[in-house]
Amino acid sequence: AQSVTQPDIHITVSEGASLELRCNYSYGATPYLFWYVQSPGQGLQLLLKYFSGDTLVQGIKGFEAEFKRSQSSFNLRKPSVHWSDAAEYFCAVGAGAGNMLTFGGGTRLMVKP
Amino acid sequence: EAGVVQSPRYKIIEKKQPVAFWCNPISGHNTLYWYLQNLGQGPELLIRYENEEAVDDSQLPKDRFSAERLKGVDSTLKIQPAELGDSAVYLCASSQGTKNIQYFGAGTRLSVL
């Protein structure tokens, strides 16, 4: 069975500082990996995705993530955090067309001025 | 292009009452998903539709939950009767194609009193 672990429930960073959110997955084959962001009272917005190829993927809002097969990880990074990045971030793993996504428990990001 | 539309955004009901949620997916998306998101957790799949057919409803509590997607477009999720533990956010998502990129609606926040 597939699973996702986000070890950090809460993270606080200062505005302008760099950010890394951790994600570890368990999946039997080559996974499709996703990062979503959820602002309070909102649905999930797709930040970026990995299917194959280049292990460093770029997303929206200046985010990037790196797929490391040997570590079963797909960590999300941003070089300089903005106050508007404060939200909940979810990592998800899935397979191909029409399959369910399995989500991690989320990491709540708080940004200090 | 319009995104996934859900209504209502909020619903407050007494326990044992029925409740229904509606979802209109992105035009042309054949696959529709209903997820349950409890407070502080990631979404969990309730049911998945391919066109009109429910192809994965293994996580749907069928004693009180039902869903339909009669014309293969919009969908309704119903709970009857609602219990206190059903208080959560109900998210709808849709996808199309082989990459399983799921787009989410804003969700319906249900409070059962």
Per-residue pLDDT tens over the stretch B36-47: 999 989 999 999
Read off φ and ψ for residue B85, nearest 5 degrees.
-70, -5
Residue from B9, B24, B14, B27 nearest B70 by CA? B24
Closest A-chain CA to B45: A100
Q: What is the C-alpha to C-alpha distance for residues B35 and B51, in angstroms, rounded to an integer?
A: 17
Q: Does A96 touch chain B (CB under 8 A)?
A: yes
Give the per-residue pLDDT at B72: 85
Q: Flag if A90 and B100 touch (Cβ within 8 Å).
A: no
Biggest CA pair distance of chain B = 42
- pLDDT confidence of residue B76: 97
Average pLDDT value for residue range A34-58: 93
* Mean pLDDT to the nearest integer, B15-28: 96
The chain B residue lying nearest A32, using CA atoms, is B99
pLDDT of residue A97: 63
Q: Which residues pair with A45 in a beta bridge?
A: A37
Asked if B5 and B91 touch (Cβ cutoff 8 Å), the reply is: no
Residue A14 structure tokens: 């200062």
Q: pLDDT tens for residues A53-103?
A: 899 999 999 999 999 999 999 999 999 999 999 999 999 998 766 678 899
The pLDDT score that the predictor gives to residue A98 is: 61
Using the CB atoms, write b or e for A44-57: b if 16+ within 10 Å: bbbbbbbbeeeeeb
Contact criterion met (CB < 8 Å) for A43 and B104 = yes
* A4 in contact with chain B, both atoms CB, cutoff 8 A: yes
